[in-house]
A and B are shown apart, each in its own frame.
Chain A
């Protein structure tokens, strides 16, 4: 078992336009990436649960070339609108850090 914070090289979030948040988890090499992929833990349902959205609203893309998983989902509030807490969206990754990967 391994937490994402211990095995990923990058775990980050950012705006993708004013209405969406995009989250990337990147691994060191193809082997780790494929082992993580095989666990099936990183999937639309995981992001749906952690970010309180419907799984069908999560655009989930494993990206082999970068050893990365990307999930894009709606922001709670459009960037900069009243009540937004993170205008650039770059501090929304923390719930992923403690996700356990059975690798």
Chain B
């Protein structure tokens, strides 16, 4: 909880929380007199970024807060008691790590053309096909990069989980994205092809023959650099809890 500072207080803020840890309970009080902790504001925080509000897996065991009591000590301080600690058979430490997944380039653009918006899926399929052919022609095989076309105004936020389908907005925003495995140069080159084809690919009924997309910036393409993905999310069983965290003392 301390990691989040004053977040478990109201009004929620970005300064500090003062926590006193005693043998059988913990007391929380915000340092800023403008804030206060209430039993509910503290209880709510156990929901934050945990898969369970009652079972918290920590190195060496599991903290069970299912029978926790949250009592107001004053109008701004709360006492938490009733936590149970269930020691694990082995002491464990969580390992998280990433690997470089490639290099990214992006471009932001939008359309206000109802004829294009009305046949967007076909249009994007044409663009993808053009990009594949043209990128292959300069040596970027289809399996050496990933092309993403994010459609804001349709499902840019929820992707495949977006429940509202078939709405026809008056404008759509796009983030065109290329991640190339090998280097930035390929990502930027393929993105250039994708951007040009979003702008100029023809479609049936097209009236906007000078260009399909409005670009807010020139130059329009942005090199984002290396991209990382989670590749290590493991639990290490340790014989000695300290073995991964060596401390060296020096006398100066």
Interface string of A53-70 (1 = CB under 8 A from B): 000000101010111101
> Which residues of chain A are near B229, meaning CB under 8 Å?
78, 80-82
> Hey, which chain B residues are within 8 Å of A81, CB to CB?
101, 229-230
* Alpha-carbon separation in the docked complex, A67 to B47 (Å): 11
- Closest A residue by C-beta to B82: A65
Question: Which residues in A have their C-beta under 8 angstroms from that of B101?
Answer: 81-82
Question: Chain B 34-46, CB within 8 Å of chain A: the 1/0 string?
Answer: 0000001001101
Query: Which residues of chain A are near B228, meaning CB under 8 Å?
Result: 80
| Contact with A59, one of B46, B51, B227, B230 (Cβ below 8 angstroms) | B51
CB of B230 within 8 A of CB of A68, answer: no
What is the distance, in angstroms, from B94's C-beta to the closest C-beta of chain A? 9
A24 touching B150 by the CB < 8 A rule? no
Chain A: which residue is nearest B96 at the CB level? Answer: A18
CA distance A70 to B227 in the complex (A): 32
Interface string of B165-190 (1 = CB under 8 A from A): 00000000000000100000000000
Residues of B within 8 A of A10 (CB): 44
B157 in the interface (beta carbon within 8 A): yes
Which residues of A, 83-103, contact B by the 8 Å Cβ criterion? Answer: 83, 85-86, 91-92, 94-95
Q: Is A66 in contact with B53, judged by CB distance below 8 angstroms?
A: yes
CA distance A83 to B178 in the complex (A): 11
Smallest Cβ distance from B186 to chain A, in angstroms?
A: 15
Assembled-state Cα–Cα distance A78/B101 (Å): 13
- Of the residues B48, B96, B230, contact of A14 by C-beta under 8 Å: B48
Whether a CB of chain A sits under 8 angstroms from the CB of B52 is yes
When distances are taken between beta carbons in the complex, the residues of chain A under 8 Å from B48 are: 14
Answer whether residue B156 sits at the interface, using C-beta atoms and an 8 A cutoff. yes
Taking the complex as formed, is A50 at the interface, i.e. its CB lies under 8 A from any CB of chain B? yes
A26 touches B47 (CB 8 A): yes
Q: Which of A16, A26, A82, A94 lies in contact with B179, CB distance below 8 A?
A: A82
Residues of chain B within 8 A (CB-CB) of A91 are 157-158
Contacts of A19 in B (CB 8 A): 230, 233
Contact of A51 among B52, B54, B161, B230 (CB under 8 A): B161
Extra contacts, 17 of them, besides A63-B47, A65-B46, A83-B159 (Cβ < 8 A), are A14-B49, A20-B51, A50-B161, A50-B163, A61-B52, A63-B46, A63-B54, A76-B161, A77-B159, A80-B228, A80-B229, A81-B101, A83-B148, A85-B156, A85-B159, A86-B157, A95-B161
Chain A residues engaging chain B, CB cutoff 8 angstroms: 10, 14-20, 22, 24, 26, 50-52, 59, 61, 63, 65-68, 70, 72, 76-83, 85-86, 91-92, 94-95
> 7 tightest A-B contacts by CB?
A66-B43, A72-B51, A16-B51, A63-B53, A65-B43, A85-B159, A18-B230
